[in-house]
Amino acid sequence: MNFLTDPLDRRSTFRSANVMVYEWVGVKHASVDLVGVWLLVGLGVGTFTVGHTTLNAASSKVAKYEKTCYNNQHVFMEFAFDIFGFLALEVVDLLHIVQRVMHNNVITLRSMNVVFTRIDFAIHNY
Alpha helix ranges (H) inside 26-88: 52-71
Per domain, the residue ranges of the chain are 5-124
Distance of CA 111 to the CA centre of its chain: 22
Show pLDDT as tens, one digit a residue, over the chain (126 residues): 455 555 566 665 566 677 888 888 888 888 888 888 876 655 566 676 778 888 888 888 888 888 888 888 888 888 888 877 888 888 888 888 888 887 788 767 777 777 777 777 666 666
pTM over 0.75: no
Task: Report the alpha-carbon distance of residue 69 to residue 20 in Å, rounded.
Answer: 12
